[in-house]
């Protein structure tokens, strides 16, 4: 349902309606539901250019990371331009494939659920051979999902909006932002009261419902636990939300 809050703040390019989807975390069921809600909203809208920006964290924690990636690869919304951003959990997965020593950290942050979605069980009582698990995942992970993960962007801009998974480092020009900040930053970004040249649309830090601030819009509503997957709707100097 759309949120009650709707404010004038910033604008996308002319004749453009943008949907920015928060952290999915393996909830393919919620993603399918949200796509239907977005399609219904777009069908009623006047803008001819429609853009959907996925803010990252498609994998881990939830039951169907493989299904989420397959849905995204399948371009489920006809007539939309698609932008897929990297989240810190996608970077976790890619890091594990190249360096199994990070495996314990990844599994402790929900990577075991991603492995299970690809048929790799690491929940037994025996110690996990991370190198063997990484080798197995590299063997069974289909080429299209791997290419999808490796091709994710770190940020995207549309008019007055800047999209990044976690946020930006205050005081640093947009073109000088580091990968680590775009994927991981929290408090220095969340607490900064300063106005910026753009409004940053981000996920990464869960909130109970989508939030509109003067300089940022938060869209991660903890779908894996709350059953609420949220998209910000941005058009003609207005912001609202759609959620499951």
- Could you tell me the residue ranges of all domains in the chain? 16-98+142-243
Copy the structure tokens of residue 155. Answer: 């940020």
Where does residue 40 rank: exposed (0-12), middle (13-18), buried (19+ CB within 10 A)?
Answer: exposed
What pLDDT does 30 receive? 98
Nearest to 19, CA basis, from 59, 47, 61: 47
The Cα–Cα gap between 241 and 94 comes to 31
- The arithmetic mean of pLDDT across residues 104-127, rounded, is 90
Copy the structure tokens of residue 218. Answer: 């938060």
Could you tell me the pLDDT band of residue 195, with boundaries at 50, 70 and 90? low
Could you tell me the pLDDT band of residue 6, with boundaries at 50, 70 and 90? very low
Where does residue 128 rank: exposed (0-12), middle (13-18), buried (19+ CB within 10 A)?
Answer: middle
What are phi and psi for residue 59, nearest 5 degrees?
Answer: -110, 170
* Domain 16-98+142-243: top CATH class: alpha beta
Judged against a pLDDT cut of 90, whether residue 127 lies above it is answered with no
The Cα–Cα gap between 155 and 45 comes to 26
- The arithmetic mean of pLDDT across residues 200-222, rounded, is 96
**Other CB atoms within 10 Å distance of the CB of residue 198:** 17
- The arithmetic mean of pLDDT across residues 161-189, rounded, is 96
């Amino acid at each position: 349902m759309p949120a009650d809050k709707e404010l004038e703040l910033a604008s996308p390019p002319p004749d453009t309606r943008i949907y920015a989807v928060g952290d999915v975390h393996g909830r393919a069921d919620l993603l399918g539901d949200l796509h239907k809600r977005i399609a219904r909203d777009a069908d009623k809208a006047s803008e001819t250019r429609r853009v959907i920006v996925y803010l990252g964290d498609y994998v881990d924690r939830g039951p169907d990371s493989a299904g989420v990636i397959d849905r995204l690869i399948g371009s489920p919304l006809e007539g939309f331009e698609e932008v897929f951003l990297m989240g810190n959990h996608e970077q976790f997965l890619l890091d594990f494939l190249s360096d199994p020593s990070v495996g314990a950290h990844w599994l402790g942050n929900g990577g075991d659920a991603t492995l299970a979605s690809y048929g790799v069980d690491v929940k037994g009582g025996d110690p996990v051979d991370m190198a063997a698990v990484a080798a197995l995942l590299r063997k069974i992970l289909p080429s299209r999902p791997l290419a999808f993960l490796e091709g994710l962007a770190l940020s995207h801009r549309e008019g007055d909006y800047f999209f990044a998974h976690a946020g930006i480092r205050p005081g640093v020009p947009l073109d000088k932002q580091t990968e680590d900040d775009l994927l991981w930053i929290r408090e220095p970004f969340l607490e900064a009261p300063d106005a910026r040249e753009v409004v940053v649309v981000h996920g990464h830090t869960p909130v109970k419902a989508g939030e509109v601030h003067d300089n940022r819009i938060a869209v991660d509503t903890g779908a894996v636990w709350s059953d609420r997957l949220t998209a910000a709707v941005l058009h003609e100097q207005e912001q609202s939300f759609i959620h499951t």
